[in-house]
Structures are given as C-alpha cells and as structure tokens.
Amino acid sequence: MTRRIDDGPRPKHAQLSDVLAELALRDLGPGVAIPSERELMTSYDVSRATVRKAIDSLVAGGLLQRIQGKGTFVARPRVESRLHLASFSQDMRRRGLTPSTRLLRVDEERPPADVARTLRLGASGTAWRIDRIRLADDQPMAIEQGWYPCSLLPDLDTEDLSGSLYTVFAERYDLVVDAAEQTLWGESAEGTTARRLEAPVHTPLLVFRRLSSADGRPIEHVVSRYRGDRYQLHMTLGPTRAPDADADADITRDTTTA
C-alpha cells in the first residue's frame, strides 16, 4: 500500500524523502532505479517540485545517484579509507575488493617545472610518467598521473606496472616508500577524465596530490582523482598540541592511497 503524503507539520518533500529512503534500502538495493518523477507524482499526488526536492536531498546525502539520460538509482556504498600510507592494491584488498589496473601510458619525459623541483631532478633530469586507471571489483575507482625519477628507477618501463608500484620499488630497487605529504581538494569530472572513469559529467571527484619519499629521497609525485560517489575518507582527529620548538618532529603525517 502506498504511504499517504499529507499536509501535516512535516513538509511534503521531507515525507517523500522518507518514503524513497525506505524504498531504496528495503526493496530496491544498490544499482536499481527508483520510479520516475512522473510515477512518483501520480503515486503520491505531489508536484514535480516536491519530487525533485525529495530526490535532491537523497542525492546530496549519497543514498541516490543521478545518471544523465538514464534516471536516478540507488547508490552503491562508497569504499571508505582511513588516512594512511599504503598502495591502492593493499587498500582495496584490505576491504575485500579485488584491485586491478589499466595502464594508459608509461614514458620517459622531462616533467613540468614544479614536479622537477619536487623530485630534485636538476636542470636536465627526466622522470617516468605513468598514467593509470585503478579499479576495484572491475569498477573504475580512480585515475592517476604519476612521475618517478628515472635515475632512481632505471628500466621501470620494463616492469609489471599493473599492481602496486610500491611493491615494485621495494622488491626491484630496494626502495621502500616510508614518508609522504598529501594535499586533498575537490573537482568535478569532465571530458576525458569522466569518460575514463565511466562517470557522468560533473560527478564529484576527490583529488589527492601525494609527494612520497624513500629514505629521504623523493620518489613520487602523483595526482589521483577518485570518484567521490565511490570513495570516502575517515579521519580520527585529536586536540592540537600547543606549539613548541619540537612540535613538528612529533607530528605523524598519514596519507591515503593512490
């Protein structure tokens, strides 16, 4: 029996949101389309504006997902990561997912000036540019562009780059990534990035720029763009210490995976 949407103290769009949330969680499940706007208008005797406002609130909350030209679907649960230093492959396996990689390119190039400075390449040093799409259970999760010094990693282009680069660094070159600095910001998926991630245009992205080192030597400058509808972060925060001369030495800077 269809629940009645009435003129009570709660707005109609809030009542309809409750109905749609229950429908999504109890009857439909991830990846299943909800009824069309017209069907909802007819079933609950509400306006199109009410339907859209109800759906908007559930999309904003992450329960529903709009796919342009197809409709609105129950969103799949996001993979959650705690901030830590690990490879993408390690991170996904820990969550019971199967990681895989599509290698887009690997070339020896002179990187942009800011990357060259970060990697301490000097006036003429080169780096491996490695572009990859990272997948979890065959679903595109992230696209990354990384730079790695050729002087530290000779013949890297002959190695298997379909898994964890950190494992390759450790086993082939005896270089263990032991520290990193990471910056996070938001973007929306456009053009080639959206197509390669198989994401609707304007899908929110979590963008990470990570600068990694091994035994004090810069080894990685990578920018990773994660689908925000499939990935989220968890952080445990504590009180900030009073500043003192030794404070920086006691701060652990954790990073998430790329």
**Cβ atoms < 10 Å from Cβ of 67:** 12
Measured between alpha carbons, how far is 141 from 225 in angstroms, rounded to an integer? 8
101 in helix, strand or coil? Answer: strand
Looking at residue 153, what is its pLDDT? Answer: 97
258 CB-near residues (< 8 Å, 6+ apart): 87, 88, 134, 142, 144, 146, 208, 210, 222, 224
Which of 132, 138, 143, 135 is closest to 103 using CA atoms? Answer: 132
CA distance 88 to 135: 9
Q: Give pTM, 2 decimals.
A: 0.62
Q: Which segments of the chain does DSSP mark as H helices, in order?
A: 12-22, 37-44, 48-60, 88-94, 113-118, 165-173, 191-196
Distance of alpha carbon 33 from alpha carbon 115, whole angstroms: 44
Domain 79-250 listed as CATH 3.90.79.10: no
End-to-end C-alpha distance for the chain, whole angstroms:
47
Residue 111: per-residue pLDDT: 92
* CATH 3.40.1410.10, the chain: domain bounds: 79-250
Predicted local distance difference test score (pLDDT) of residue 193: 94
Query: Splitting the chain (258 residues) into consecutive groups of 10 residues, what average pLDDT does each group show?
Result: 71 86 82 89 90 85 78 72 56 77 94 93 94 92 95 95 89 91 90 92 90 94 90 69 44 36
Q: Which amino acid is it at 65?
A: Q
Question: Which CATH number describes the domain made up of 12-74?
Answer: 1.10.10.10
Q: Are 233 and 206 in contact (CB under 8 A)?
A: yes
* Predicted local confidence at residue 6, as pLDDT: 79
- pLDDT for 214 equals 92
At 83 the pLDDT is 42
